[in-house]
Structure 1
Amino acid sequence: MKCQRTLRCHLLFLSLVVPATGFAHERPDRPPSFLDGPVTATHYDGVGDDLLTAGLGASGLASATPPAVSSDPTAAEIRRLAIYNNYRALVPTDAGNGYGVFYGPGVDANGQPTGEEGLIAGTEYLAFAGPRSGRVNVTLMVQVPDSFDVDAPCLITAPSSGSRGIYGAIGTAGEWGLKHGCAVAYTDKGTGNGAYSLQGNRAIGIDGRVDDADALGKEATFVARMSPRQRERFNSEFPDRYAFKHAHSRLNPEQDWGRNVLQSIEFAFYVLNTQFGDEGRGRHRRLRFEPDNTLVIASSVSNGGGASVRAAELDTRGLIDGVAVSEPNVNPRKARFAIVQGTQAPLYDHSRSLFDYTTLLNVYQGCASLAEPTAPFNLAPSAEACTSLHEKGLLSAGTAAAQAAEAQQIINDAGWNPEQNIVQPSHWFLNVPQSISVTYANAYGRADVRTNLCGYSFAATDPVTGAPVSLAPDAELRLFGTGNGIPPTGGINLVNNASVGGVVENRVSVSPSSGRADQNLDGALCLRALATGRDPVTGERLRGAARAMHRHILEGIEQIRASGDLHGKPAIFVTGRNDAILAINHASRAYYGLNQATRGARSQLRYYEVTHAHHLDVLNALPGFAERFVPLHHYLFQGLDLMYAHLRHGTPLPPSQVVHTVPRGAGAPAIGPANLPDIDPNAPAADRIRFGHGTLYVPE
């Protein structure tokens, strides 16, 4: 059961922007100035519906059968589907990986299994941050559990991971915060699952329902900017295409991720003060909850973790007390230091951008996958890619096996950890580097969807021919609940407009330059050229429109570079050594080194690197992963526990260290405490990560 409360209810949220007086609002019934439009509030009783599981409970989230959705789905049905899919996309829900034992709704705040469904009652608030033009809406959400302790208030940020919608961190920072009685501040970071049908002129509203874009108007999560005539012209040449908010907003939303997180915190304080009321009377009246009396931890994973880190860097008003993130997508500015793992050679060429190291991977991984025949779900190795790379002079070896080894070495020489090699083939099969390369090229370059950058576009495809087709109406209506904001998602795939024989799905396309089904090497080389400014084959500098786009992309990347300065805030990074999405030498390790180089003894950042852990825990339920890897998710929760104890009780943070986990091994028996050793408050010297003499030392 739930109670929908609107502007007429006793909360009396205002539907128009009312100027605020900075953060410390003189009138607590006035929303922050960045809100534009209504705030909706829905209470969930924790019986029929709830904040964490949408009424599904621990068993419903673990079920392989998604919740039913009607042919004309309600907002509640779409929300339930979104929570189900977003939770399961990030958190392994099988008992063998610790669900219901170490984490999950059925585990309490102290890490003890309860055997219960774990529904959490409370109120959920939704709003847009503007300006609300229909193409830049950033979704904000605050969940306040009924267990919120007004005498010991706490607030956790949960910006979405990846390009996911507003529920994209529900199972990570969201679950931890709700179970600890904290309010949780979410944002979709302006990337959220905003799919827009150019053919049908249909968009997604804040509640996840699909409608005519003109009817939604400023209430649309995202609409590609163009006139009806321009859209008609585009549709006549490229029918059935979709634009996505992250890729095609033409705003480089990543530059505002940190700001969006700070806005979510301010929104949360407004919500709390409105829900629970202020204190005192007359001129002695004051806000009940302020940064000075409310514990605030910035958290989340991947892109969400990076957003919280950027928020801490931007926070000059003391909104954030501490940071605890997992595998954060950070692009630190370059600094002069070396990274050394064990006895390996020093790496000086670290701190490359995500776009740089991913576009390189996108060129070589199809071939390199042949070098890892035992890798789990290695279902798309490409001898054709090896042959094409060799013909173009990008590989010199003469046999497919030697070419694959050479391609793998190029990847590792670029700073990708060897430990990720066995994970990457599965990601290649899942189109992870391909889709990241395309999405971020468009985002950083502020490209219009009509540009079809490097010949790519997004569309549903025929399962037999691979040709673009109309997305089934029921699939479109479910996009908010099934999509993740970056194709392939919800039935929408990457397509190659330039394929020999006509437009087809990217994975089965044929490159014009080679005449081979080499997984669109031509498109990958085009994206790589936009990263480097040179043709990868000829070495010549780009010219004309390509050169201009390269410069736009570099400008976009500079806008999202991290400074490494957390203003003395205590912080925890937890990262898996086998991460195959974010190269740790360019992300977590590089950021920690930059922070140490710039802050020195004043730094309060701790870095915990976990062995036998990677970026996508959900894969650990599959054969080949189950035997080899442990859930990094467990260590995010441990990091949050450590930060909470540090801020609330003054408990010292453990030193930076490598956490040596134990894989489950043959037969993948259920994971236990022996597999997941704690982060050690007294870590031996041999396990400690150190910075000194211009070098970051990471033990094996």
Structure 2
Amino acid sequence: MKRIMLCAAIGASVATLTACNDNDNPPLNSVPGFVQGEIQQTSYDGVTDDLLTAGLGASGLAGAAPAFDDPLNPTPAELRRLAIYNNYRALVDTSAGGGYGTFFGPQVGAEDDGLIAGDEFIAYMTLPGTDVPFTVMAQVPDSFDPERPCMVTAPSSGSRGIYGAIGTAGEWGLKKGCAVVYTDKGTGTGSHNLETNTAQRIDGTLTDADEAVQFRADLTDEQRAEFNSNWPDRFAWKHAHSKANPEADWGQHVLQSIEFGFYVLNEKFGDPVGTVAVRPTITPENTLVIASSISNGGGSSVRAAEQDTDGLIDGVAVSEPNVNPKVDRSFTIVQGDGPVITEHSRSLLDYTTALAVYQGCANQASVNATAPLNFLNDATVGASICAALADKNLLAVEPGATLEEQATDALRILNEEFGIQPEQNPLAPVHFFSRIPQSISMTYANAYGRAGVEDRVCSLSLAATDGENLDAVTQLSATAEAALFATSNGIPPTGGVNIVYDDAVGQPTNLEFSTSPGAAGEDYGLEALLCLRSLAQGTDAVTGAALEGEQAELAAAIAEGIEEVRASGNLQGKPTVFVTGRADAILPINHTSRPYFGLNQTVEGENSNLRYYEVLNAHHLDILNGPQFGPGLADSYVPLHHYYFQALDLVWANLTENQPLPPSQVVRTVPRGDVANPLSSDNLPDIAAEPAPEDRILFEENQVVIPD
């Protein structure tokens, strides 16, 4: 009994299920050693509040955003509610007719508005070798059956916070009665107001006190004061400035979240030992665990499956995963009778900095004249970008070439040199307008290089800007800062904080409206974007010359950081499903899902259980399919989200009923055309158990073969 009490007192064992284990004394349930501080637990009744919708229900998620009683001092519950609302709607189209309430949504399969009762556990954790905290959360619905335990991982998509996968893996897992384990993977809001030293607690409330927060920059008070005197009103952001390259550890974040989930489940359902301890009864051996999520979260679960040495994960189901496959040019990729792709598996930073540099010009090509929402891009700025690229000999055009010739060549470069599929072209302009390639380029260059906010990589910083005063730096309003936990997507521009070009003509200016030194007019800070491109490719983006000094050192650090995030392709035979939209213009398929499929076939061969489903007329951001965004979107594209849920269903059936996974295939969806017609099964055919030969995706003779 003394040994049992001693083990119960040791709450910091690294391996939850192995602490104090010998033949005579089975292991006790212990708080994993990577958990930092207290674990906060909240119970939700499923009536006034709940796990999935924060009490809003399916109808509330589709309605107006919830408000704060006191905008300057929102409560943790109010911040959670708005965070769930915003994160759900950022990834799921909740408009009428787009599939919400028919194919997906909290209300589908529910007797009411989809509220789910249960317990929520949240804490900080760290990885060995770093003291930078990240957030972990486990949700256990009241429908969880300890006799048939299951768990789904839900690492956040993009750079989102802890609720970033609530509407994707969270919804599917909770409705299945599984525990869902979330992690923000070292990203999330994590904003640090350098002027006031204010940051977010784990519940999103603000503090300037010396206490546990999501992130503060690694600066002494003296260093921060000096920085503020030179660059006032700036912010540091966790993903960009933690100096931890969190993506390198996304797989470990997911594995630790699973261990945390087992600890939580056994605290609830384990065998009591006296009054102070329990023995685990829910273990990896008797629990079905599916690693899941979308985008960056999907990539994180893939990496976790590759790194799973303890048999924690049984299967994988992901959508549009951000995977940077190890470069293996022993195989090629071909779609139909199109060109053979040999230069696949480019890194995220490589192709994204190319999009940041060239897309502003490519928007002006006549073939993009009707691209959805392209009219929102400033044509004058686009023309300036084209002219500057031509002057720098970055376009293959003759002197005096027309704008059309310049823009057409910029588009050619993206398609032919960077492997961007033509199906992705129509969506690239709206992503450029939404500042997606620009924000990814800035954040990931900093993260891969482990740069701090004080480094101001490529003369870029983060601050609020005044749209009425030449987009100059200003203080972020107190109400906007108070809401950041709930409104930010973790990667500025977001929540009122923009990317600022400190070397812009005149004064530090919002990058979007800035003029590079020597430029004839606004050019979207092209010099800063070319600087990021230089760091990504390791040579000067304009001259091709070797980089020198600090820039060369940073480029080398970035290259090392990119190698740290490369995926091995070895899923250890785990049944796995990837679904990806062919029109994905954020994570181009020739550098993500397609080459990962080829790499996996090369590495695992006949032992591979990976299936790849490429969905036509689907892209990365289903939210753009809402009719409020105008023609060319809702009428032309279908929700990839529907096929993500199918992927989860297929992996579940494989693991629980031994149903075979369908062969890899192209899924031929049918856009609805008139948005007055709600989506039906005619638009969204199921992934076929036996696809037609002309629809099968194959790996043969060292080539990934994709049907048109």
Same fold (TM over 0.5): yes
How far does residue 350 in structure 1 lie from its aligned partner after superposition? 0.3
Residue 518 (structure 1) aligned with residue 547 (structure 2) = no
Q: Aligned ranges for residues 448-467 of structure 1 at < 5 Å?
A: 448-464=452-468, 465-467=470-472
The CA distance in 1 between the partners of 2:464 and 2:8, in whole Å, is 40
How far does residue 573 in structure 1 lie from its aligned partner after superposition? 0.4
Alpha carbons 2:354, 2:414 under 8 Å: kept? yes
The CA distance in 2 between the partners of 1:291 and 1:277, in whole Å, is 14
Aligned to 1:366: 360
Q: Aligned ranges for residues 37-436 of structure 1 at < 5 Å?
A: 37-71=37-71, 72-108=73-109, 114=110, 116-130=112-126, 136-212=132-208, 214-216=209-211, 219-278=212-271, 286-335=279-328, 336-371=330-365, 372-378=368-374, 379-380=376-377, 381=379, 382-397=382-397, 398-413=401-416, 414-436=418-440
- What does the per-residue CA deviation read over 1:280-327, in whole Å, with 9 as the maximum and x for residues that have no partner? 999xx8521001100000000000000000000000110000000000
Instruction: Give 1:78's aligned amino acid.
Output: L
SS at match of 2:689: coil
Distance 1:513 1:541, change over 3 A: farther
Distance 1:21 1:524, change over 3 A: closer
Q: Aligned ranges for residues 542-621 of structure 1 at < 5 Å?
A: 542-621=547-626
SS at match of 1:697: strand
Alpha carbons 1:36, 1:131 under 8 Å: kept? no
Distance 1:667 1:234, change over 3 A: same
Distance 1:134 1:350, change over 3 A: closer
The CA distance in 2 between the partners of 1:515 and 1:16, in whole Å, is 67
Alpha carbons 2:159, 2:187 under 8 Å: kept? yes
- What does the per-residue CA deviation read over 1:386-425, in whole Å, with 9 as the maximum and x for residues that have no partner? 1111111111330111111100010011111110000000
How far does residue 514 in structure 1 lie from its aligned partner after superposition? 2.0
How far does residue 65 in structure 1 lie from its aligned partner after superposition? 3.2
How far does residue 43 in structure 1 lie from its aligned partner after superposition? 0.3
The CA distance in 1 between the partners of 2:577 and 2:587, in whole Å, is 17
Alpha carbons 1:17, 1:35 under 8 Å: kept? no
Instruction: Give 1:571's aligned amino acid.
Output: T
Instruction: Give 1:18's aligned amino acid.
Output: A
The CA distance in 2 between the partners of 1:237 and 1:75, in whole Å, is 34
Mean CA deviation greater in 163-172 or 388-397:
388-397
Aligned to 2:17: 23
Distance 1:500 1:373, change over 3 A: same
Aligned to 1:629: 637
Instruction: Give 1:368's aligned amino acid.
Output: A
Instruction: Give 1:61's aligned amino acid.
Output: L
The CA distance in 1 between the partners of 2:353 and 2:28, in whole Å, is 48
Instruction: Give 1:313's aligned amino acid.
Output: E
How far does residue 35 in structure 1 lie from its aligned partner after superposition? 1.1
SS at match of 2:64: coil
Structure 1 unaligned regions, length at least 5: 1-12, 109-113
Alpha carbons 1:337, 1:695 under 8 Å: kept? yes
Structure 2 unaligned regions, length at least 5: 1-6, 21-26
Distance 1:133 1:75, change over 3 A: farther
The CA distance in 1 between the partners of 2:196 and 2:412, in whole Å, is 46
1:682 is matched with which residue: 681, 690, 693? Answer: 690
Alpha carbons 1:308, 1:323 under 8 Å: kept? yes
The CA distance in 2 between the partners of 1:220 and 1:102, in whole Å, is 39
Instruction: Give 2:171's aligned amino acid.
Output: E
Alpha carbons 2:35, 2:125 under 8 Å: kept? yes
Instruction: Give 2:640's aligned amino acid.
Output: L
Mean CA deviation greater in 381-390 or 561-570:
381-390
How far does residue 149 in structure 1 lie from its aligned partner after superposition? 1.1
- What does the per-residue CA deviation read over 1:612-638, in whole Å, with 9 as the maximum and x for residues that have no partner? 000010010021210110010001100
How far does residue 532 in structure 1 lie from its aligned partner after superposition? 1.2
How far does residue 132 in structure 1 lie from its aligned partner after superposition? 11
Aligned to 2:707: 699
Alpha carbons 2:133, 2:214 under 8 Å: kept? yes
Alpha carbons 1:297, 1:322 under 8 Å: kept? yes
CA RMSD of aligned residues (A): 1.9
How far does residue 664 in structure 1 lie from its aligned partner after superposition? 1.2
Residue 494 (structure 1) aligned with residue 499 (structure 2) = yes
The CA distance in 1 between the partners of 2:391 and 2:10, in whole Å, is 62
Residue 534 (structure 1) aligned with residue 539 (structure 2) = yes
The CA distance in 2 between the partners of 1:492 and 1:200, in whole Å, is 15
Identity of aligned residues (%): 56
TM-score, with length taken from structure 1: 0.95
SS at match of 1:274: helix
- What does the per-residue CA deviation read over 1:233-254, in whole Å, with 9 as the maximum and x for residues that have no partner? 1111111111110000001011
Instruction: Give 2:166's aligned amino acid.
Output: I
Instruction: Give 1:546's aligned amino acid.
Output: Q
Instruction: Give 1:169's aligned amino acid.
Output: A
The CA distance in 1 between the partners of 2:659 and 2:272, in whole Å, is 31
How far does residue 516 in structure 1 lie from its aligned partner after superposition? 2.2
The CA distance in 1 between the partners of 2:69 and 2:450, in whole Å, is 35
Alpha carbons 2:325, 2:566 under 8 Å: kept? yes
Alpha carbons 1:134, 1:223 under 8 Å: kept? no
How far does residue 16 in structure 1 lie from its aligned partner after superposition? 8.5
The CA distance in 2 between the partners of 1:20 and 1:232, in whole Å, is 39
Instruction: Give 2:76's aligned amino acid.
Output: A
The CA distance in 2 between the partners of 1:352 and 1:612, in whole Å, is 24
SS at match of 1:297: strand
Aligned to 2:3: none
The CA distance in 2 between the partners of 1:85 and 1:134, in whole Å, is 31
SS at match of 1:558: helix
Alpha carbons 1:367, 1:407 under 8 Å: kept? yes
Alpha carbons 1:576, 1:632 under 8 Å: kept? yes
Distance 1:22 1:143, change over 3 A: closer
Aligned to 1:484: 489
The CA distance in 1 between the partners of 2:8 and 2:435, in whole Å, is 44
The CA distance in 1 between the partners of 2:173 and 2:67, in whole Å, is 24
- What does the per-residue CA deviation read over 1:340-388, in whole Å, with 9 as the maximum and x for residues that have no partner? 0011011010001001111111110000011201011112151111111
Distance 1:69 1:571, change over 3 A: farther
Alpha carbons 2:576, 2:651 under 8 Å: kept? yes
How far does residue 455 in structure 1 lie from its aligned partner after superposition? 1.1
Distance 1:37 1:420, change over 3 A: same
How far does residue 667 in structure 1 lie from its aligned partner after superposition? 4.1
Alpha carbons 1:497, 1:504 under 8 Å: kept? yes
Aligned to 1:6: none
Q: How many residues align?
A: 679
SS at match of 1:422: helix
Alpha carbons 1:81, 1:482 under 8 Å: kept? yes
Alpha carbons 2:16, 2:29 under 8 Å: kept? no
The CA distance in 2 between the partners of 1:590 and 1:376, in whole Å, is 28
SS at match of 1:370: coil
The CA distance in 1 between the partners of 2:106 and 2:676, in whole Å, is 23
Alpha carbons 2:270, 2:279 under 8 Å: kept? no
SS at match of 2:539: coil
Instruction: Give 2:699's aligned amino acid.
Output: F
